[in-house]
């Protein structure tokens, strides 16, 4: 089924409710629907057509249209189609029906859209604020065009996130606000009885950097890739690639084939680097530092290799719209093959050792279970989804760069536990080495930058996703005037995966909480290019400061 046909199917079902339909590309479908049909259309896409919810976005188009544009993004993985469902909401009644009761994965992003643009999702089950700081004024919406970049409202004291009520008799274990394992700021409140974890309340987004606002109000098209790359410290190249590919699609720009291969190679090098970093951290979390030492040692020659290719260990700074800045010289091919060959050999040795190791098995097997159904419902991405038996991988489902010409394997395990997620990453690393070999073999000669003189026309849009080491990175770009995007929406994989924490922790021993959270390789800085909070199912007993002081004093006296 092509995107056009899928659009026709939706139009047949909803008739006049579908105001506009366009499918500029095989894999992209844009629908504009009336505000009252948001929930039925979302339900039809999610339940009947088997689409997966990606993210939602709000755009301030009051200048052009006098309206707010709310967009829900879905993907139909079998048909390789991304679907954007646009709805225009009146400026005077900034309200839209919430789809969260039908599509649970929309929980965070609907709240984020409310915080950023001010369009209220009516009927949302958890209407707390998500992204903005606790003392941010209620009536100031940062992504509206009339709010200047750099606006700093005066701080207010004595405000805090409303917390969920604790259940009777449960105690609370706070983890954070400086997450001890990953050295990043986030705050989980795990409530439980005895050793067993129950509900979880999460407050994150302490690191809000306003990257989207920056991209839409200050930077120009070719400055954004460098900032996009800094959304994440580990998987930066995926963000700049996804952004550049989205702009290239919107502008109808053909990039040279060599560029596609170079991007593929760099993306896979980054995957090896990220997975080996993660495996080390995971070992560290469960107190098995041998793995940390060995994987980080294996990783180091790769970092030097990347430094040689790109000029930096990380944040390669190679992507620009229409191409890359540095070529991979033919004399480097042998060095690349040698480095990845060494990693493959040692990785294989590690792979052989892990499944037989009782210590690891005891900590990984059967802990942090995320059932397939829950993972689908809450929109898990990447290795987290594949470890739960969901066969989704953007490289195969929505091929970009040179992946359609290469043999890529979907590494899926249906164990649903921490071990499955470890195995997925172990497999993927070996597969990445294989992909790099193929790409180096097939890479054609040619220019590394597309020739284009014309300006990128305004009002065009494109969606693009890239399979980051942690999952699906999604970028949507709506082109604008003044040589910059009108709206640039980013969804990092951890944004989707973090919402899976509450069901994952339920029934686990508290000692397993760090590895459970660590098992989906959370990257809080990615997630917090804006900010976040979650939620849920949780019942929490909150100690006041006085109670805690009384408690400690009681102990010291006794």
For another protein, the binding residues in 199-218 under the rule CB under 8 A are 218
Q: Among residues 162 and 287, whose Cβ is nearest to another protein?
A: 287
In this chain, which of 162, 311, 341, 457 binds another protein, going by CB under 8 A?
A: 311
Q: Does 315 bind another protein (CB under 8 A)?
A: yes
Window contacting another protein (CB under 8 A); options: 310-318, 408-416, 424-432, 510-518 = 310-318
Query: Does residue 308 touch another protein according to CB under 8 A?
Result: yes
Q: Residue 125 CB: number of other CB atoms within 10 A?
A: 12
Cα separation, 191 vs 173, in Å, equals 6
Closest separation in Å from C-beta 240 to another protein = 11
Binder of another protein out of 23, 41, 99, 227 (CB under 8 A)? 227
In this structure, how many other beta carbons lie within 10 angstroms of the beta carbon of residue 382?
A: 28
d(CA 462, CA 253): 12
- Distance (Å, rounded) from C-alpha 292 to C-alpha 430? 18
365 in contact with another protein (CB under 8 A): no
DSSP string for residues in 314-330: S----EETTEESS---G
Token pair 């107190």 is found at 287
Which residues neighbour 367 within 8 Å (Cβ) at sequence distance 6 or greater? 417, 418, 508, 509, 512, 515, 516
CA 265 to CA 276: how far, in whole Å? 17
Q: Residue 555: which residues within 8 A CB-CB, separation 6 or more?
A: none
Contact window for another protein (CB under 8 A) among 46-54, 61-69, 98-106, 297-305 = 297-305
Candidate list 5, 151, 290, 552; residue touching another protein; CB under 8 A: 290
Among 317, 383, 389, 518, binds another protein (CB under 8 A): 317
Which residues within the stretch 496-555 sit at the binding site for another protein (CB under 8 A)?
none
Q: In terms of CB distance, is 229 or 461 closer to another protein?
A: 229
Q: Decide: is 353 part of the binding site for another protein (CB under 8 A).
A: yes
Q: Which is nearer to another protein, 44 or 288 (CB)?
A: 288
327 binds another protein (CB under 8 A): no
What are the tokens at 90? 């009146």
Residues 456-485 that bind another protein (CB under 8 A): none
As a three-state string, the secondary structure of 400-460 is CCCHHHCCCCCCCCCCCCHHHHHHHHHHHHHHHHHHHHHHHHHCCCCCCECCCCCCCCCCC
Residue 178 or 304: the one with the smaller Cβ distance to another protein is 304
Query: By CB under 8 A, is residue 224 in contact with another protein?
Result: yes
72 binds another protein (CB under 8 A): no
Q: Which is nearer to another protein, 219 or 381 (CB)?
A: 219
Nearer to another protein (CB atom), residue 80 or residue 325: 325
Q: Do 487 and 57 contact (CB within 8 A), yes or no?
A: yes
Nearest to 239, CA basis, from 230, 250, 248: 230
With contacts defined by CB under 8 A, how many residues of the chain interact with another protein? 33
Nearest approach, Cβ of 229 to another protein (angstroms)? 9
| Residues of the shown chain interacting with another protein in the complex, contacts defined by CB under 8 A | 218-219, 222-227, 230, 290, 293-294, 297, 300, 304, 307-308, 311-312, 315, 317, 325-326, 346, 349-350, 352-358
């Amino acid at each position: 089924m092509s995107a056009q046909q899928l659009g026709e199917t939706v139009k047949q079902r909803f008739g006049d409710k579908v105001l506009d339909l366009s499918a500029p590309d095989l894999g992209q479908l844009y629908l504009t629907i009336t505000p009252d049909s948001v929930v039925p259309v979302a339900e039809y896409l999610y339940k009947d057509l088997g689409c997966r919810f990606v993210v939602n976005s709000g755009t301030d188009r009051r200048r052009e249209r006098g309206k707010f544009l709310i967009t829900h993004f879905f993907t139909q993985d079998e048909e390789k189609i991304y679907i954007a469902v646009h709805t225009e909401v009146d400026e005077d009644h900034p309200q839209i029906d919430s789809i969260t009761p039908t599509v649970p994965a929309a929980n965070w992003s609907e709240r984020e859209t409310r915080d950023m643009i001010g369009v209220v999702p009516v009927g949302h089950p958890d209407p707390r604020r998500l992204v903005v700081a606790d003392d941010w004024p209620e009536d100031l919406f940062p992504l509206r065009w009339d709010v200047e970049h750099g606006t700093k409202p005066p701080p207010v004291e004595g405000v805090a996130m409303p917390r969920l009520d604790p259940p009777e008799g449960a105690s609370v274990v706070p983890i954070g606000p400086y997450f001890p394992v990953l050295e990043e700021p986030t705050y989980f409140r795990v409530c439980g009885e005895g050793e067993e974890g129950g509900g979880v309340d999460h407050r994150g987004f302490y690191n809000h950097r306003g990257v989207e606002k920056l991209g839409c109000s200050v930077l120009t098209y070719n400055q954004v890739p460098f900032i996009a790359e800094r959304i994440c410290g580990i998987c930066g190249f995926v963000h700049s690639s996804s952004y550049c590919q989205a702009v290239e699609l919107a502008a109808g720009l053909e990039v040279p084939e060599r560029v596609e291969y170079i991007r593929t190679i760099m993306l896979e090098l980054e995957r090896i680097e990220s997975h080996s970093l993660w495996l080390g951290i995971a070992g560290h979390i469960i107190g098995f530092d041998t793995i940390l030492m060995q994987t980080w040692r294996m990783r180091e020659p790769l970092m030097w290799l990347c430094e040689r290719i790109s000029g930096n260990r990380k944040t390669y700074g190679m992507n620009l719209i229409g191409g890359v800045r540095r070529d991979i010289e033919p004399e480097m091919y042998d060095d690349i093959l040698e480095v990845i060959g060494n990693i493959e050999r040692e990785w294989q040795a590690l792979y052989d050792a892990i499944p037989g190791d009782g210590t690891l098995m005891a900590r990984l097997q059967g802990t942090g279970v995320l059932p397939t159904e829950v993972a689908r419902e809450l929109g898990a991405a990447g290795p987290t989804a594949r470890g739960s038996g969901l066969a989704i991988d953007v490289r195969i489902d929505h091929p970009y760069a040179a992946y359609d010409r290469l043999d890529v394997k979907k590494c899926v395990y249906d164990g649903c536990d921490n071990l499955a997620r470890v195995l997925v990453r172990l497999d993927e690393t070996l597969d990445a080495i294989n992909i790099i070999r193929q790409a180096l073999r097939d890479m054609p000669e040619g220019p590394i930058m597309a020739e284009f003189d014309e300006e990128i026309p305004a009002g065009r849009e494109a969606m693009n996703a890239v399979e980051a080491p942690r999952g699906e990175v999604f970028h949507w770009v709506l082109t604008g005037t003044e040589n910059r995007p009108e709206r640039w929406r980013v969804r990092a994989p951890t944004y989707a995966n973090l919402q899976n924490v509450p069901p994952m922790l339920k029934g686990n021993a508290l000692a397993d909480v760090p590895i459970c959270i660590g098992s989906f390789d959370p990257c809080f800085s990615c997630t917090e290019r804006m900010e976040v909070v979650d939620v849920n199912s949780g019942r929490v007993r909150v100690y006041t400061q006085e109670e805690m002081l009384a408690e400690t004093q009681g102990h010291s006296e006794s």
